[in-house]
Amino acid sequence: MPAARIIPCLDVRDGRVVKGVQFRDHRDVGDIVEHALRYRDEGADELVFYDISASAEDRSLDFDWIRRIGREIDIPFAVAGGLRSREQAAACLEAGADKVSVNSPALERPELIGELARDFGSQCVVLGVDSLARDGAYFIHQYTGRVDRSRDTGLATLDWVREAVDRGAGEVVLNCMSRDGVRNGYDLAHVAAIVAAVPVPVIASGGAGAPEHFRDVLLESGASGALAATVFHDRIIHIPELKEYLASCGIEMRR
């Protein structure tokens, strides 16, 4: 089994890194390139950048900051935010991104996933999933970057993830919305259900607050990696120490 990945997530608005709680009340936490360089130096395996309001504002993300990051770091990174066409995805990859992540635009037009996988390979296509429990089941939410447009699609999370992978998505990032920013642990049962449903890597997102939470999601759910934001941005957890701890728990890590 490949080494587990530790992935800082950087939510971006107006070229700045921001962080909220349960997708609301975002605060500015710093310059995008400074954060990218810090995480590269600390040993992050990958980075993910989300332009959180692009889809809700019916625009694509800003290619300028992708180029700035691509010039500075030498670890893989994915970008997301309003990518609705092959041409926009190509511009992101040409600017230096290694992967593109699609969420709301893929819900608008599922054929987009297959088009990107055909032209760039499934390894470049990540499905972002914003999932929230309702009536004992999990459902997909759309346009979560803006409170006034966020909505429950009524689409069952498992059904959508299976369809998207069948269409060519090569990785899934599962954002458990109720856990976002609250630091009480990943939703292990939900992550495990997604892992069992699809044959591609699944990255857990939402809920990291202690090193034990990373250990639990990697050992108990089968996730290929763990994504987090607040604990890294606020220096509550330091990546080198986290990797040492996880390795001591028998989890293979990249050093």
pLDDT digits (tens, 9 = 90+) for 176-210: 997 877 788 999 999 999 999 999 999 999 999 99
Q: Is 152 contained in some domain?
A: yes
Length of the chain: 255
Q: What pLDDT band is residue 233 in, cutting at 50, 70 and 90? A: confident
What's the rounded mean pLDDT across residues 54-68? 78
What's the rounded mean pLDDT across residues 10-25? 69
Q: Is 194 contained in some domain?
A: yes
Q: Is 52 contained in some domain?
A: yes
Q: Is 120 contained in some domain?
A: yes
Distance, CA of 212 to chain centre? 20
What's the rounded mean pLDDT across residues 142-165? 85
Q: Quick one: angle between helices 86-95 and 63-72, nearest 10?
A: 30
How many Cα atoms occupy the beta-carbon half-sphere of 224 within 13 Å? Answer: 18
pLDDT of residue 144: 74
Q: Is 253 contained in some domain?
A: no
Instruction: Return the CATH number at 9.
Output: 3.20.20.70
Q: Six-digit token pair at 173?
A: 């990032």
Decide: 229 and 27 in contact? Cβ < 8 Å: no
Rounded to an integer, what distance in angstroms lies between the CA atom of residue 115 and that of residue 167?
Answer: 9
Q: Is 99 contained in some domain?
A: yes
For the ranges 18-27, 67-76, 116-125, 151-160, which has the lowest average pLDDT? 18-27
What's the rounded mean pLDDT across residues 114-137? 95
Q: Is 254 contained in some domain?
A: no
What's the rounded mean pLDDT across residues 81-98? 94
What's the rounded mean pLDDT across residues 89-99? 96
What's the rounded mean pLDDT across residues 223-232? 94
pTM: predicted TM-score of the whole model, two decimal places? 0.91
> Residue 83 carries which DSSP code?
-
- Residues classed as catalytic: 11, 130
What is the total count of domains within the chain?
A: 1
Three-state secondary-structure class, residue 25: strand
pLDDT exceeds 70 at position 55: no
Q: Is 255 contained in some domain?
A: no
pLDDT of residue 18: 80
Q: Which domain holds residue 172?
A: 5-247
